[in-house]
Amino acid sequence: MPATDSRPVLLATHISVGDSGEVGLILDRAGIAHQTLRLNKNQPLPPVRAHYRGLVSFGGVQSATDDHLDYIAAELRWLEHAIAAGFPVFGICLGAQMVARVLGTTVGPHADGRYAFGWAPVSPVGDDPLGFGGPLIAYHRHGEVFDLPAGATLAATRPGWPNQAFTWGSNVVATQFHPEVNTTLLTHWLDRERPLSDEHHAGAQDIETQLADAPVHMPYVHTWLEAAILKWLGGRD
């Protein structure tokens, strides 16, 4: 679409309005309108996709296999039709897992029972379709993973967690990691009564390290995320 496109980007959240983290700020800086929906509070995705520029689907404690949750089942149906119609979709963590599922692949717990929690590097694959430019130390918080969908292009990987990002066609981007995490969101996640439920998992990074390392890693991740979002939206021109 042209630069004068005034249609908003939909931000589909599953816990709170703060789920969008840095994404909303990136869109604000670019002068791109956006509308946040709390799907877990029964705010439905709109039926007319032509009125919107794209959708970012964020993380959550839910599973992409939670068909018993009406709003998860509804989002899966919405994503299936939207992606097939060429509508731009950017999935993050749970959102990426739902995208992978509607593209026909498996989502479930890590085969070795691992849980990712903390900062860890992801590396670009092949000709670097998402423009990482080299390894990126990104934030991770998930126990479920996805197989690579048929027809998708693997964009990033990590030892022990091979599918970290992929593209599908010209309209879909999915990241297993959390590039949207900023100081506000990370503080909201971690500044809680201890221990957090994630802390007991083998390999979990301690909370103090996560908070201390955040200012070092986040600027590089956000620089990549801003470029990736603008390319994703501009790729429909």
Tens of pLDDT, residue by residue over 120-178, are: 999 999 999 999 999 999 999 999 999 999 999 999 999 999 999 999 999 999 999 99
- Is position 3 within any domain? no
Q: Is 108 within the bounds of a domain?
A: yes
User: Hey, what are 195's tokens?
Assistant: 């221990």
* Residue 93 is assigned to a structural domain of this protein: yes
Question: For the segment 61-108, what is each residue's pLDDT rounded down to a tens digit?
Answer: 999 999 999 999 999 999 999 999 999 999 999 999 999 999 999 999
Give the pLDDT band of residue 204 (cuts 50, 70, 90). Answer: very high
Contact 174/165 with Cβ under 8 angstroms?
Answer: yes
> What's residue 237's pLDDT?
33
Q: Residue 42: inside a domain, yes or no?
A: yes
Alpha helices in the chain (DSSP H): 22-29, 70-84, 94-102, 183-190, 207-234
Q: Taking 80 as the threshold, does the pLDDT of residue 235 lie above it?
A: no
Q: Is the pLDDT of residue 226 over 90?
A: yes
Q: Lowest-confidence range among 19-33, 65-79, 130-144, 194-208?
A: 194-208
CATH number at residue 74: 3.40.50.880
Q: What is the pLDDT, as a whole number, of residue 203?
A: 84
In a domain, 4, yes or no: no
HSE of 136, CA atoms in CB hemisphere, 13 A: 27
In this predicted structure, the answer to whether residue 221 has a pLDDT above a threshold of 50 is yes
User: How many helices (H) and strands (E) in the chain?
Assistant: 5, 11
| Residue 2 counted as domain residue | no
pTM (2 d.p.): 0.96
pLDDT at residue 16 greater than cutoff 60: yes
Q: Is the per-residue pLDDT at 230 higher than 60?
A: yes
Residue 131: CB partners within 8 Å, gap ≥ 6? 224, 227, 228, 231
CA-wise closest residue to 94 among 69, 121, 57, 122: 57
Q: With respect to residue 1, please indicate whether it lies within any of the assigned structural domains.
A: no
Residue 1, pLDDT > 70, answer no
Mean pLDDT, the chain, rounded, equals: 95
Token duo for residue 19: 């789920």
Write out the residue range of the structural domain in which residue 146 sits.
9-234
Q: Is residue 75 part of a domain?
A: yes
Q: Name the CA radius of gyration of the chain, rounded.
A: 17
Does the structure show a pLDDT above 90 at 4?
A: no
SS3 content of the chain, % helix, strand, coil (to 5): 35, 25, 40
- Residue 88: the pLDDT is 97
Domain count, the chain: 1
Q: Would the pLDDT of 24 be above 90?
A: yes
